[in-house]
Structure 1
């Protein structure tokens, strides 16, 4: 009879992408897999394989929402835990894996109360609230960013953050350092934090020396409401630029770029290091626990990236750092190699191995 894994993940892409990668690996190995989430999380799960069954459980958070929402949250969570326990009694998982977010609370709580083998995967360098709650109460803690700030007494295993197959296909691709020809600059940022990049990057690029500007090809991911002004900013500076709210081919663009300017979300850092490219990282200041700064720190320490805190970054500083990398082929190459050395293209396999050991 095949092993059965229950994967619990919250309602953001940052939680769902690694959960999806693990589910795909387990299915290939003959496992039966179920995803436990809430209604919001289900909207982010459309790319999961059809073989993954879904279990929608009520859950909530007391961290946001109005007074009514805060008061009702404990009752929703309790209802979800009871539903999870009933489901586990009918069909007991061999292992339960949580990827963070409040929708994981019912399944992880039920696994704890029923003494089912359980583990969590933390994507960021600072552990989220729900994973912090469960970290001392699980059998394994897998970490995407290393080192990860863990609760006292908790030991973690560095697996890395699983990346998409389209990224894996380009892992460690040879880097073409900047020279006398075209220069490719990629600008990507999470939806919440993209506005600052749209405010600063076009002005910084416009101030670059003319020899760089005339050879520059910019691909800039900007929110729809910022599109027109970003297009106008590049056009007025005479810079060739492609502006879209979302690039479906980010792995290909990462492979071809000489430099990437990005937020420091866990998935972005995983993609940049898997492929191995020089970067300028601007951590999102409003991220909970300042976890994006923690995500960026290993790259800064390895000289794979220049990290500019949002509180101090301005166009002039960014202009200086873009020029410093694009005019120094040796430095750019060293940064690319340092980034690739931090990459964990085998993160899914490492995570799969932990799950298999725990289920045994």
Structure 2
């Protein structure tokens, strides 16, 4: 939702009207969109979930969603339709293709998701947030970068306070999936740090609701000051205050780290079918801004070693922060908006 929200904000500033088409689940994550953006809920589904019954029902639900999107598009006749991947995008993109409306997709990750793979040859442009991107044969991408929210841009390039003999902040972000392993390993790893370093730590740790109690207990037992929540409303501020970020390498997280400019230890989601999170991390790792630690090698000892390496090296941490900034595309939302307007102008009409 973050790239879609960012694009909506820019398009509104440019005088466009914007509507969000998503399913009921996606609508629950649309709270950050400007109030003037109507949320049009249509049915959708994925055959990959819900067992045999879910697979049988999916085409019917998607068909109903396409019909609803078609009806709304006939009423509103959008100048351009932009898909951001995931099965909630299927109805709108299908209707737009059937109606021959100007359309494009944006892919956050270094590997196209299933839905974007399905539509890559049926749109007028494929905008890529991560570069290089693994694209289907014959498809050319446009590197726009991953748009970040205004709250992230407000902290872009915030001065970095290197680690030292004073309070140091560590931000732990598990992402929307697979956060359990970070809740298992990170508290134990930080507890294993030398006493002189551990006593200075101030940790912000995002954990699943079912893990919160044990994560709180683990930090308390280690004597580490920690704020554990299921979701942080102020991630950009916490990231700007951090000496180190430990996180999954989801595309939005990677973009935020680059724009704000912070050293990081990235743990790609091992269960990702296309291993897209490893691809996402590539730019930060290659720049020397991040350490990649695969799940297969993630243990309290291995993580403690990497954390100590960064937090005990003031100059090295500063260099990592500068290297992160070198990967950033802070104007990604404007680049994407330019592409959207170009597609609308070339293949349809302007508002």
Both proteins in one fold, TM over 0.5: yes
Task: State the partner residue of 1:91.
Answer: 76
SS at match of 1:157: strand
The equivalent residue for 2:313 is 328
Q: Say if 2:5 and 2:149, in contact at 8 Å, map to a contact too.
A: no
CA distance in 1, matches of 2:286, 2:311: 20
Q: 1:160 aligns with which of 145, 163, 183?
A: 145
Instruction: Give the Cα–Cα distance (whole angstroms) in 2 for the partners of residues 34 and 243 of structure 1.
Output: 34
Gaps of 5+ in 2: 346-351
Point out 4+ residue stretches in structure 1 off by more than 3 angstroms: none
> Which one of the candidate residues 274, 283, 293 is aligned to 1:289?
274
Give the match for residue 64 of structure 2: 79
| Aligned CA distance change for structure 1 residues 357 and 257 (closer, same or farther; 3 Å) | same
Partner of 2:110, secondary structure, is coil
> Structure 1 residues 339, 70: closer, same or farther in 2, change over 3 A?
same
Aligned partner of 1:6 in structure 2 is none
1:341 aligns with 2:326: yes
| Comparing 283-292 and 167-176, the one that deviates more | 283-292
Which residue pairs with 2:25 in the alignment? 40
Mark the CA change 1:83 to 1:181 in structure 2 (over 3 Å): closer, same or farther: closer
Query: In 2 relative to 1, CA 78–191 (structure 1 residues): closer, same or farther, beyond 3 Å?
Result: closer
Deviations 1:178-206 (A, max 9, x none): 12222221111114222111111111111
1:276 counterpart (246, 253, 261):
261
User: Compared with structure 1, are the counterparts of its residues 237 and 87 closer, same or farther at alpha carbon in structure 2 (3 Å cutoff)?
Assistant: closer
Change (3 A) 1:243 1:77: closer
How far apart are the structure 1 equivalents of 2:176 and 2:98? 37
1:236 corresponds, among 221, 228, 233, to 221
Indicate how the Cα distance of structure 1 residues 46 and 218 shifts in structure 2: closer, same or farther if over 3 A, else same: closer
Which residues in structure 2 correspond to 1:210-229 (within 5 Å)? 210-229=195-214
Q: Could you tell me which of 156, 173, 177 is aligned with 1:192?
A: 177
| Offset at residue 267 of structure 1 (A) | 1.4
* Gap regions ≥5 residues in structure 1: 1-15
Please report the TM-score for the alignment, with normalisation by the length of structure 2.
0.94
Cα distance in structure 1, aligned partners of 2:337 and 2:260: 21
Higher alpha-carbon deviation: 271-280 or 211-220: 211-220
2:129, 2:323 → 1: CA distance? 18
Q: Deviations over 1:10-64 (max 9, x none)?
A: xxxxxx2211111121111111112222222222223322322333322222121
Q: Output the TM-score relative to the length of structure 1.
A: 0.91
Give the whole-Å Cα distance in 1 for the aligned partners of 2:195 and 2:233.
Answer: 31
Other-structure match for 2:342: 357
